[in-house]
């Protein structure tokens, strides 16, 4: 089957993206704490999913999901979906990609969209922890996956033609599975985005009141507020030093 291509994680030259699993857009069978999603905490009689809190369209995004050792069952899935995709089912299904509203990779090594599955990579070894990386390129319209730092290739194309908002999504049919969000990165969206980052990195924590005091038109202030990290995170300024080499 497909051999992975080892390469360093993408978007080294991008910036951190401040999104997390959404408390509002999830199955009741998903519990969230910090960046971890716990699926079916007692026992499972269906499929549960949770969506990311920000839409992806137009940008290039990369995120990693650390899968705990408890990996088994019908489908543990990673991918993207629109707001129309359902996030809960009372049956064990490959939920992400069961219809046209999602595009997903299941731990069985199949990729799903529009209810059609096809072989993409080897099935994951069950009951072995792993890290799945998802690379969404909203400009080229592609979605591809990494597994333990191995690039597995482009799984889907044509995503740049989707006009509805697209969100990261994970789903699981198996009880007590834990999926933890790791790095979340995105590409720079232009010079204004980079200047915003420099400005925000210089502000003290919780700067919303300070931003209101700046003499900016509301649209620009909203644009600044849009990239504020969660209150416990400090933005690291972009440095003039060359990036470290990867061995």
Partner 1 sequence: MASNVPSVPSEGLNGPNSMYIKLIAADGHEFIVKRNLAYYAKTVKDMLESGPVQVKEDEPSVVHLKKIPSNALIVVCSYFAYKHIYINANTMIPDFPIALRDSLDVFMAADFLRC
- According to the binding rule CB under 8 A, does residue 236 interact with partner 1? no
Dist CA 190 CA 144 (whole Å): 23
Q: Which of 180, 199, 221, 229 is in the footprint of partner 1 by CB under 8 A?
A: 199
Q: How far is CA 226 from the centre of its chain?
A: 18
Pick from 68, 247, 244, 45: nearest CA to 170:
68
Dist CA 104 CA 13 (whole Å): 26
Given the complex with partner 1, which of 230 and 242 has the nearer CB atom?
242
What would the x/- binding string for partner 1 be over residues 109 to 148, using CB under 8 A?
----------------------------------------
Q: Which of 84, 198, 206, 233 is in the footprint of partner 1 by CB under 8 A?
A: 198
- According to the binding rule CB under 8 A, does residue 220 interact with partner 1? yes
Q: Which of 3, 5, 6, 13 is in the footprint of partner 1 by CB under 8 A?
A: 13
What is the SS3 assignment for 238?
coil
- According to the binding rule CB under 8 A, does residue 240 interact with partner 1? yes
Given the complex with partner 1, which of 3 and 12 has the nearer CB atom?
12
How many residues in total does the chain contain? 247
Pick from 40, 25, 60, 94: nearest CA to 102:
94
Given the complex with partner 1, which of 15 and 111 has the nearer CB atom?
15
What is the SS3 assignment for 120?
coil
Pick from 186, 180, 221, 228: nearest CA to 206:
228
- Residues forming contacts to partner 1 in the complex (CB under 8 A) are 12-13, 190-192, 194-196, 198-199, 202, 220, 223, 237-240, 242-243, 245
């Amino acid at each position: 089957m497909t051999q992975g291509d080892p390469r360093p994680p993408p978007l080294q030259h991008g910036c951190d993206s401040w999104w997390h699993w959404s408390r509002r857009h999830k199955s009741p069978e998903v519990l969230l704490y910090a960046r971890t999603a716990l699926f079916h905490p007692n026992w499972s009689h269906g499929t549960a999913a949770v969506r990311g809190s920000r839409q992806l369209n137009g940008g290039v995004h990369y995120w990693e999901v650390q899968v705990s050792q408890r990996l088994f069952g019908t489908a543990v899935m990673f991918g993207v979906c629109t707001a129309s995709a359902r996030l809960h089912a009372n049956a064990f299904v490959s939920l992400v990609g069961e219809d046209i509203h999602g595009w997903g990779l299941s731990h069985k090594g199949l990729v799903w969209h529009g209810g059609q599955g096809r072989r993409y990579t080897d099935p994951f070894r069950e009951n072995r922890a792993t890290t799945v990386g998802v690379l969404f390129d909203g400009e080229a319209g592609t979605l591809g996956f990494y597994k333990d730092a191995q690039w597995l290739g482009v799984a889907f194309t044509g995503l740049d033609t989707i006009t509805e908002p697209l969100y990261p999504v994970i789903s699981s049919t198996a009880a007590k599975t834990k999926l933890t969000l790791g790095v979340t990165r995105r590409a720079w969206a232009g010079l204004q985005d980079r200047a915003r980052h420099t400005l925000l990195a210089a502000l003290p924590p919780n700067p919303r009141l300070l931003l209101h005091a700046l003499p900016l038109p509301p649209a620009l202030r909203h644009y600044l507020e849009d990239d504020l990290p969660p209150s416990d995170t400090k933005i690291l300024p972009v440095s003039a030093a060359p990036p470290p080499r990867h061995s």
